[in-house]
Amino acid sequence: MKLGDLSVGYLYSLQAALRSLGHDPETLLRRYRISAALLDQPQARISIPRFMRLGHAATQLSGRADIGLLMGLYSQPSHFGLPGIAAQCAPTLAQAFETLMRFERLASQNYRGHSSFEAPASRFYSISPYNAFNLFVVDSALASRMQLARQLTRGAARLREVHIEFPAPAYSARYEALFGCPVLFDQQHNQLLWEPASLALQPEQSAATTYSQLIELCQAQLTELTRHRRLRERVEEILSPQLHSQLPTLDEVAAQLGLPGWTLRRRLKTEDNTRFQDIIDEIRRELAVTYIRDTEMALGEVSFLLGFSSPAAFQRAFKRWTDMTPGQYRRQSREAVLPNDQGGPGMLLN
């Protein structure tokens, strides 16, 4: 169980943003074991924690806290992979966004939640609370979606408002200059709210036949990607976004999977020799390690995200899992050298 991963295609706009500021992106990428060969591999992905650390390092290198917004300006439809190319050929801008959301998993996977499109809102999910490691993720995601709409419609698409979950950062004035509309912070969601007329616009490269062919390719890839998923993975996908709230029962999860509760219990035992509660405990353990190692979240924040009754209860559980306190584990992780990940087709860099 991991936070998730994304295609190395998302690094192309980071490279371009750094070059525009006079920095060599290859030096930075090498520090994170991301080679030119890896960037050429169509199935290669990096983990979300690795992406967050890389973005934080790029922010420090450039001195630009708004580098995520700058990345958006250098984003291209092709950076979204095959779904991005399909979106270019969609009949309307609304259908372009629907295509990106429907096939989001081909380019990225976040086990805590998913992006969505429900006109007029294009919504992006990000883990919270926010810190220096994930602000740029939200900035780049929203800015790249805005840039995509402008590219598809040759600048005709217009935003009504932009909503952002975190408080206004020091560079907040740059948001309205970029998006060209009111930007509201401390909101319930990260989302772009489009003018309805803009969503009805036809992309410049709209082509019905090509769009249908590309949708077939996207669906074939998605089917291939998901058909070998074990039952346990499907259970994890249901449970993970709800750790901080009221977790569904085994029977409720089974109902979402179209199974009786007793069948889910039996198949988990047969296929993975595991129990429903074991899955919940292991999700919490693996996410706890990831949050402590790869973010600067306070213990109280991690405790809340994972559904513990108190920070003290979380600390006791973490020491039971790792034989270290969260603070000790974080310090040891900071001192460790990055693993020598070489990557390869379909390989994930943690």
Supply the pLDDT for residue 350: 46
CB proximity list for 144: less than 8 A, separation 6 or greater: 13, 71, 72, 75, 79
How far, in Å, CA of 26 to CA of 36, rounded? 8
Half-sphere exposure (CA, 13 Å, Cβ side) for 232? 16
Supply the pLDDT for residue 336: 61
Do residues 160 and 181 lie in contact, with contact meaning Cβ atoms separated by under 8 Å? yes
Half-sphere exposure (CA, 13 Å, Cβ side) for 271? 15
Q: Which residues of the chain have pLDDT under 50?
A: 1, 337-350
3-state secondary structure of 248: coil
Supply the pLDDT for residue 199: 97
Do residues 122 and 97 lie in contact, with contact meaning Cβ atoms separated by under 8 Å? yes
Name all domains of the chain by residue range, CATH numbers in brackets.
65-224 (no CATH), 231-335 (1.10.10.60)
Supply the pLDDT for residue 234: 81
Residue 129 preceded by cis peptide, ω within 30: yes
CB proximity list for 296: less than 8 A, separation 6 or greater: 131, 132, 133
Do residues 135 and 148 lie in contact, with contact meaning Cβ atoms separated by under 8 Å? no
How far, in Å, CA of 30 to CA of 26, rounded? 6
The DSSP letter of residue 342 is -
Q: What angle do CA 109, 130, 98 make, to 5 degrees?
A: 35
How far, in Å, CA of 1 to CA of 24, rounded? 34
**β-strands 45-47, 348-349 pairing:** parallel
**Residue tagged 């958006």 (tokens):** 72
Supply the pLDDT for residue 97: 97
Q: Which of 59, 219, 194 is nearest to 123 (CA)?
A: 194
- Give the pLDDT confidence of 107-121 residue by residue, as tens digits: 888 777 788 999 999
